[in-house]
Structure 1
Amino acid sequence: MPKPVVSESARQRRRPTKSGMVLSEELIVRTALRMLREHGSAGLTVRRLGIALGADPSTLYRYFTGMDDLTLAIGDLLIGQAMADWHGTGDWRADLRELGLRIHAAYLEHPQAAVLTANRISGKSHEVAADEAILGLLRGAGFPDRDVVRIYHAFIDMTLAFAALDAASLALPEEARTADEEIWQATYARLPAATHPNIAAVAPLLVAGMNDSAYPAALEMLLGSAESHLTAGPGAA
């Protein structure tokens, strides 16, 4: 017989921990997010999390089935932060652009967490709410449902892929990240036109832009393609 679902209020610890905190699911997730930011994924364990909360580590299993469940909750929190106070304007392209940029930015605020969670599917409340909003924008714009799913798939995968890529760079030690960024100036900008004519022709542009995220540009390309398809009508290829 399956175990009954225990509500948040029923799981909440009635007495404060040694540190004076009353445990809750949200408090555990936010503490784990802080630990990831400060110590990286290797520093987030049940034992260390229990110490940070001033609670017996086993208490955490009243709220999460394990560290993987907690990881999914962290990813859901990031999406919740991205969606906070967002309201649609009725302009599907502008709204979708804002949602994409919000999600991307929320992950980059917590690069260690983004590396762990950007490729995961949680099915938790904030993720579901974001998906409902994105699908609603596309259906409200008049896209056929098959196109809605196709564009949604491309939009969310591209957004999370860029979030993971850009977060991985931010999560590098500063020395390694700086060395990577300097390669464009130290190597590419110095290649001679005789042997590398194409690189040499655009070298100043590479130096100026390649250390910035390409997500905003890629997002505009996706939205522009989607809008062109919508304008062309049902018979478009």
Structure 2
Amino acid sequence: MSERVVPPADRRRRRPTKQGVVLSEELIVSTALRLIEEHGADALSVRRLGRALGADPSSLYRYFRHADDLMLAIADELIGRTLRLWRPTGDWQEDLRDLGLKMHAGALAHPRAAVLSSCRVTGRAHEIQAVETILGVLRDAGFPDGEAVRIYHAYVDQALAFGALDSAAIALPRAAREAEASVWRATYARLPADTHPHIAGTARHLVADMGRSSYPAALDLLLSAAAARLQEIRARQERPVPDRI
């Protein structure tokens, strides 16, 4: 896509495409998301999108300036899909755990798109809502502003990083995934104790654990550390101030 763009007020297409559908930003994003999972980043070509939509490729410029603009919209849509599934309870640890797991599951549901979008900052509505929501959970829990931002940063980067890592693994060809999974049984579980005592001593646990994502465990560790930090903050706030002489 080029840098051309139509002003927002003129973007709506009133006539159906060749396939009888009326173009919208939502339709273009959902179609692009489907094509990315089928074809990877090449799906963002205006020609391929236009063909899938049954529309003249040039009509897409009414909605997106270029392919990167569309990629940001896709990234924001993935965030929006996660937020629509999340229901807060008022328990900050449980709420952040549930949201993190839903973010991770959303990435695995669209692995190729997650790999492409995990490092992007969209500045769009759903991302803004997510930032506001997570910071609100942390501030309402009692974290000072600076601490809330630091924990937010670590929390979001952890979710995005694991989403991209596990999505990249899922996107591998099936034969490659199976070959890598077998390495723990075929190689590590057979290393002798006299040369590799620590691997040999934990081999059965390695075989059982290394085939699944460590994100839930990493998330629990992060939230436990955050809870411990909050206890420290509260203890410091409750500590009596010594009288001045």
TM range (shorter): over 0.9
One-letter identity of the residue aligned with 2:75: G
Aligned residues of 2:6 and 2:61 also touching (Cα < 8 A): no
Which residue number corresponds to residue 12 of structure 2? Answer: 12
Which residues in structure 2 correspond to 1:34-73 (within 5 Å)?
34-73=34-73
Separation (CA, whole Å) in 2 of partners of 1:100 and 1:139: 17
Equivalenced residues, count: 232
Which residue number corresponds to residue 230 of structure 1? Answer: 230
Which residues in structure 2 correspond to 1:195-210 (within 5 Å)?
195-210=195-210
In the TM superposition, what is the alpha-carbon distance from 1:233 to its structure 2 partner?
Answer: 2.2
Moved more, 185-194 or 39-48: 39-48
Question: Runs ≥4 in structure 1, deviation > 6 angstroms?
Answer: none
Which residue number corresponds to residue 156 of structure 2? Answer: 156
Which residues in structure 2 correspond to 1:41-120 (within 5 Å)?
41-120=41-120
One-letter identity of the residue aligned with 1:92: W
Which residues in structure 2 correspond to 1:154-233 (within 5 Å)?
154-233=154-233
Separation (CA, whole Å) in 2 of partners of 1:167 and 1:15: 38
Relative to 1, partners in 2 of residues 1:85 and 1:164: Cα closer, same or farther, differing over 3 Å?
closer
Separation (CA, whole Å) in 2 of partners of 1:65 and 1:188: 50
Matched residue SS, 2:95 = helix
Relative to 1, partners in 2 of residues 1:5 and 1:13: Cα closer, same or farther, differing over 3 Å?
closer
In the TM superposition, what is the alpha-carbon distance from 1:5 to its structure 2 partner?
Answer: 5.2
Separation (CA, whole Å) in 2 of partners of 1:178 and 1:58: 43
Across the aligned residues of Structure 1 and Structure 2, the Cα RMSD in angstroms comes to: 1.5
In the TM superposition, what is the alpha-carbon distance from 1:43 to its structure 2 partner?
Answer: 3.7
Separation (CA, whole Å) in 2 of partners of 1:158 and 1:85: 20
Query: Percent identity between the aligned chains?
Result: 59
Separation (CA, whole Å) in 1 of partners of 2:36 and 2:43: 7
Aligned residues of 2:32 and 2:43 also touching (Cα < 8 A): no
Unaligned runs of 5+ in 2: 238-245
Residue by residue over 1:76-105, the C-alpha shift from the partner in whole angstroms, topping out at 9 and shown as x without a partner, is: 111111010423211111111111111111
Which residues in structure 2 correspond to 1:131-142 (within 5 Å)?
131-142=131-142
Separation (CA, whole Å) in 2 of partners of 1:79 and 1:130: 8
Matched residue SS, 2:19 = coil
Moved more, 186-195 or 33-42: 33-42
Which residue number corresponds to residue 26 of structure 1? Answer: 26
In the TM superposition, what is the alpha-carbon distance from 1:4 to its structure 2 partner?
Answer: 9.1
Matched residue SS, 2:8 = coil
Residue by residue over 1:165-203, the C-alpha shift from the partner in whole angstroms, topping out at 9 and shown as x without a partner, is: 000001111111111111111111111111111101101
Separation (CA, whole Å) in 1 of partners of 2:87 and 2:145: 23
- Give TM-score scaled by structure 2 length: 0.91
In the TM superposition, what is the alpha-carbon distance from 1:42 to its structure 2 partner?
Answer: 2.7
Please say which structure displays the higher CA radius of gyration. Answer: 2
Residue by residue over 1:47-95, the C-alpha shift from the partner in whole angstroms, topping out at 9 and shown as x without a partner, is: 0000000111111111011101111111111111101042321111111
- Give TM-score scaled by structure 1 length: 0.94
